Structure 1
Amino acid sequence: MTGLRRPGSSGRQIQRSRLRSWEARRRARRSSLGNGWEIRELWATRVNDALKLAGKEERIDHRSHAARGIEQLPTSTKAPTRGNCTGPND
């Protein structure tokens, strides 16, 4: 990404028209994506179609646990560290 500042006498002068156009593009991109649920739903539909074509019974649901009525707490997605990994040298 390029900088949004134009060198000025103090080196801190912002080129406002460039900044405004960048912010307008960002806002437009964000509003076209909605809150992300549309993308998740589309992704789940495509994956489920592929699973069906492959003859698999598994399905993906894009909804949250709360939306599906599941009262399970989310699991931790912490990556393993060197101290808690098991491998050939442990």
Structure 2
Amino acid sequence: MLVAFSVTPLGVGEDVGELVAEAVRIVRASGLPNRTDAMFTTIEGEWDEVMAVVKQATDALAERAPRVSLVIKADVRPGVTDALTTKVETIERHLAG
């Protein structure tokens, strides 16, 4: 599955980059395929392992902020692997054609 998520600490001021970086650090340390852009971090893996990473990243921010906002979008396709890369390659191929 692919899970795109955004976790935002609330009540800590406008500059949340340092805290968000901690969440991304947790994702990268997980060893699961992932990609971060300006709005979301996307992780690929099995349900339990992906959700465990999302929880760990959320919990890390909750330790340092009085409130945390979490947005999740999931693409659940059993048997599909490397969707993190192939979905983008498909779009790029269509754009080039």
Q: Give the TM-score band, short-chain normalised.
A: under 0.3
Greater RCO, 1 or 2 (C-alpha within 8 Å, sep 6+): 2
Larger radius of gyration: 1
Q: TM-score, normalised by structure 1?
A: 0.27
Higher strand share: 2
